[in-house]
Amino acid sequence: MPKTKFFSVIVTFLVCYLFWILITWSLNIEELIAGAVVSLLVALFASRFFIHTGKMRMANPIRLFSLIWYCLVIFMEELAKANWDMAKRVFSRGPNINPGIVKVPVDVHSEYGLSMLANSITMTPGTITMDIVEEDGRNYFYIHWIDVADGRPEEAGEIIKGRMEKWTRRIWE
């Protein structure tokens, strides 16, 4: 698909160039030319890892704003709760942990949504996504959990993912 490839190279180039300008923070003509050359090289080699489909999902303003809202509010709340919980565990007397690996079903189908949810789960202290598998058309996460409160897959998923899964679906599907 040459058209999708061209499109993805352009988008990757623009993102790389934006970061170049932000980091150098100068509008010197030499810096701009060097940045363009480097960004173009990077875009040619890395675009196939960066963009897989030609759908412009983030051009929809509702999706873009819900992504920003998710990052700044929903995710921060989950992060605060988990961080505080983890700090309490560390400072408590004796090993106050109960670790295990649970398998949790996930109702997200798009590639970007899956990776965003998996990385959100890994980032909250207390849970790490270890692997993603697909069985019979449904995706499952293997999650290492520091305190297994419930071993059943559905209930464990409800506790771990909580609101994050709902928001991921809203943003990416």
Partner 1 sequence: MLILRILIDVLLVGGCFFALAGTLGVLRMPDSFSRMQASTNIPTFGLLGIVLAALLYAIFMEHNAAMAVKVLIIGGFVLLTNPIVGNTLSRAAYKYGIRPKKPMVQDDYGRDEADER
Q: Is residue 2 a contact point for partner 1 (CB under 8 A)?
A: no
| 83: contact with partner 1 by CB under 8 A | yes
- Asked if residue 119 binds partner 1 (CB under 8 A), the reply is yes
Complex with partner 1: residue 54 or 100, whichever CB lies closer: 100
Query: Phi and psi at residue 151, in whole multiples of 5°?
Result: -85, -15
- SS3 (DSSP) at 127: strand
Q: How many residues of this chain interact with partner 1, rule: CB under 8 A?
A: 39
Answer whether 121's CB lies under 8 Å from 141's CB. Answer: yes
Binding status of residue 95 toward partner 1 by CB under 8 A: yes
In the list 14, 37, 38, 87, the residue contacting partner 1 (rule: CB under 8 A) is 87
**38 lies in the binding site for partner 1 (CB under 8 A):** no
The least distance separating partner 1 from the CB of residue 148, rounded to whole angstroms, comes to 5
Using the contact rule CB under 8 A, the part of the chain among 46-54, 106-114, 125-133, 157-165 near partner 1 is 125-133
Question: DSSP per residue over 133-171, as a string?
Answer: EEETTEEEEEEEESB-S--SHHHHHHHHHTHHHHHHHHH
- Using CA atoms, how far residue 103 sits from 145, 146, 157, 169, 171, in Å, is 10, 14, 8, 20, 24
**Which residues of this chain interact with partner 1, rule CB under 8 A?**
19, 22-23, 25, 79-80, 83, 86-87, 89-91, 95, 97-103, 118-120, 122-131, 133, 142, 144, 146, 148, 151
